Amino acid sequence: MATTSDYRLCLIAAAVAIMVKKNKNARKKVRSRWVKPWLTKRISLSHINLLTELRLEPDDYRNYLRMNEDTYIELLQLVTPYIQKNNTVLRMAISPHERLSATFLATGRSYEDLKYTVIISAQALGHIIPETCEAICKALSGRYMKFPTSEQEWYAVANHFQERWDFPHCLGAVDGKHIRITCSPQSGSYFYNYKGFFSIVLLAIVSANYEFLMVNVGTNGRVSDGGVIENTSFYNKLVDDKLNIPAASEIHGSNKKIPFVFIGDEAFALRPNFLKPYSQKKLNYSRKIFNLRLSRGRNVVENAFGILASRFRIFRTEINMKLQNIERVTLACCTLHNFLRSKCGETYISLNSDSYDGVAQNHSDEVEPTFIPLQRGHNRHAREEAKEVRDEFLQYFLNEGQVSWQHARVTLQPVGNAE
Buried b or exposed e, range 380-410, using 16+ CB within 10 angstroms:
eebeeebeebbebbbebbbeebeeeebeebb
For residue 369, whether the previous peptide bond is cis, meaning omega lies within 30 degrees of 0, is yes
Indicate the helix (H) or strand (E) that contains 292. Answer: helix 285-311
Q: What percent of the chain has pLDDT over 70?
A: 84
Tell me the three state secondary structure of residue 401: coil
Q: At residue 110, does pLDDT exceed 70? A: yes
Question: Average of pLDDT values for 224-237?
Answer: 84
- Can you give the pLDDT at residue 350? 53
Better pLDDT: 253 or 82: 82
33-47 confidence digits (pLDDT tens): 667 888 888 888 889
Indicate if the pLDDT at residue 48 is higher than 80: yes
More confident residue, 303 or 12: 303
The upper half-sphere exposure of residue 208, i.e. CA atoms within 13 Å in the direction of its Cβ, equals: 22
What is d(CA 227, CA 374) in angstroms, rounded to the nearest whole number?
10
For residue 399, pLDDT beyond 50:
yes
Tell me what pLDDT residue 177 has.
Answer: 92
> From the CB of residue 357, how many other CB atoms can be counted at a distance below 10 Å?
19
> What's residue 6's pLDDT?
64
**What predicted TM-score, i.e. pTM, was given to this entire model?**
0.84
Average the pLDDT over each of 30-44, 239-253, 323-337 and give the range with the smallest value.
30-44
Say if residue 49's pLDDT is above 50: yes
d(CA 369, CA 353): 26
Compute the distance between CA of residue 194 and CA of residue 72 in angstroms, rounded to an integer.
39
pLDDT of residue 264: 93
pLDDT at 7 over 80: no
CA dist., res. 309 & res. 323, Å (int) = 19
State yes or no: pLDDT of 367 exceeds 70. no
Instruction: Tell me what pLDDT residue 20 has.
Output: 65
d(CA 157, CA 123): 43
pLDDT computed for residue 202 by the predictor: 94
Cα-based distances in Å from 327 to 137, 179, 210, 316: 11, 10, 21, 16
Q: Which is higher by pLDDT, 80 or 356?
A: 80
Q: What is the pLDDT of residue 276?
A: 94
The pLDDT of residue 362 is 42
Reported as half-sphere exposure (CB side, CA atoms, 13 A), residue 39 has a value of: 16
183 burial class (0-12, 13-18, 19+ CB within 10 angstroms)? Answer: middle
227 burial type by CB count under 10 A (0-12 exposed, 13-18 middle, 19+ buried):
middle
Higher pLDDT pick, 266 / 169 = 169
Contacts of 407 (CB under 8 A, 6+ apart): 289
Return the pLDDT at 274: 95
Mean pLDDT along residues 196-201: 90
The rounded percent of the chain whose pLDDT value lies above 90 is 53
Any idea where the domains of the chain sit in the sequence? 37-144, 151-412
CA distance 158 to 297: 11
